[in-house]
Structure 1
Amino acid sequence: MVLIPIAHTTPINPPTTTPTLTHQQIWTGLLRKIHHAEEFVPIISSCEVLSDTDGVVERVVTFKEGQFARREARETVRCFGREWVDFEQSDGTRIRNVVGRGGGGGELYMSYMFEVLVEGEEGSDGVEGERGRLRDMAKKAVESSIDTIRAMVKDGRIPAE
């Protein structure tokens, strides 16, 4: 088994996008994502919340056919401030969604960080192929989540500020 760490960061409000999203709108979207992952991540087909107690959510997500060797993942989800959401899967995989500021004007960025256990040996074709696939998936997941939050602000599911 090999642990593959992957991270991808995207600006939330590039110059050509509207509406401009606030930190609160992004956070509201990430909180919704905990309960409705399939609305935000294209490779997830369903999300069943098993419990939501004291800020800890237990859930099962089902992946679309052909995305992973396994079809489901049981996750424990925790929020840390209004800065990041941590998803820990029963197999040891960890995913973190982070909202941060950067640049001279305090621009908003979203980062997704993955630690995924995969079968194989470091440097093997299979592991390197999986590393490339995970990089693409991380980029798509970040961009899809931002696009979904923006659409939810436009249609009123997330309040405009």
Structure 2
Amino acid sequence: MSATPAAYIAFSAPINPSGASPVLTKAQIYACLHRKVRHAEEFVAGAIKATDVLSESTDEHGREVVTREVVFAEGDRRVKEVCTSFGGVKTEFIQPDRSKILNIVSDSADGQLYLTYQFEWLMPKDTPEETQKENTEKWTKMSKMAVEGSIKAMREMVSDGRIKA
């Protein structure tokens, strides 16, 4: 049995680098990640055009679960995602083909906060190797843009009062 082709990508950036203003607190970051589940287009506008929340619930562990449909800019593709929040530290997005995206907030040894987006993009089994390589390169660039764009959006939301945590 052959493996499913996939691109495994992770990108991290400091949330509060030297000179950043305002300095974001964990509570503000968590509030932003909560908002991102419902309004992804505000955080990664270049990649996502719209977000429609289909349902909200809690799982057997009391974690918030949101089922949503996002419209990707590329090809106006609509994708349903099940989003689970893990205590403000991580949000997991699972797509119908089992592709997975994680948004993770972590502390570093020097006291910095980092935002990491980790992607597990699955491709059809018959995807040619050259296409796999092209997809991985494209998605690697996109991951950097998504993390840095999300941090910028968080800072703007705190500055303009949309996030008050």
Whether the TM-score (by the shorter chain) exceeds 0.5 is yes
Q: Distance in 2 between matches of 1:82 and 1:156?
A: 20
1:99 aligns with 2:99: no
1:139 aligns with 2:148: no
Q: Distance in 2 between matches of 1:147 and 1:27?
A: 15
- CA displacement 1:28-77 (0-9 Å, x = unmatched): 000000111111112100000000112111110001134xxx70110001
Q: How many residues align?
A: 154
Say which SS state the counterpart of residue 140 (structure 1) adopts: helix
Say which SS state the counterpart of residue 74 (structure 2) adopts: coil
Q: Distance in 1 between matches of 2:72 and 2:32?
A: 20
Aligned 1:62-77 pairs, distance under 5 A: 62-66=71-75, 71-77=77-83
Q: Which residue of 1 aligns with 2:162?
A: 157
Say which SS state the counterpart of residue 13 (structure 1) adopts: coil
Coordinate RMSD, CA, aligned = 1.3
Aligned 1:49-64 pairs, distance under 5 A: 49-54=53-58, 55-64=64-73
Q: Distance in 2 between matches of 1:135 and 1:63?
A: 17
TM-score (norm 2): 0.89
Aligned 1:30-41 pairs, distance under 5 A: 30-41=33-44
1:112 corresponds to which of 114, 117, 120: 117
1:83 corresponds to which of 82, 85, 89: 89
Stretches (4+) displaced over 2 A: none
TM-score (norm 1): 0.91
The one-letter code of the counterpart of 1:83 is V
The one-letter code of the counterpart of 2:35 is R
Q: Distance in 2 between matches of 1:65 and 1:142?
A: 18
Q: Distance in 1 between matches of 2:106 and 2:41?
A: 24
1:16 aligns with 2:25: no
**Which sections of structure 2, spanning at least 5 residues, go unmatched?**
59-63
The one-letter code of the counterpart of 2:68 is R
Percent identical: 41
Q: Distance in 2 between matches of 1:65 and 1:109?
A: 28
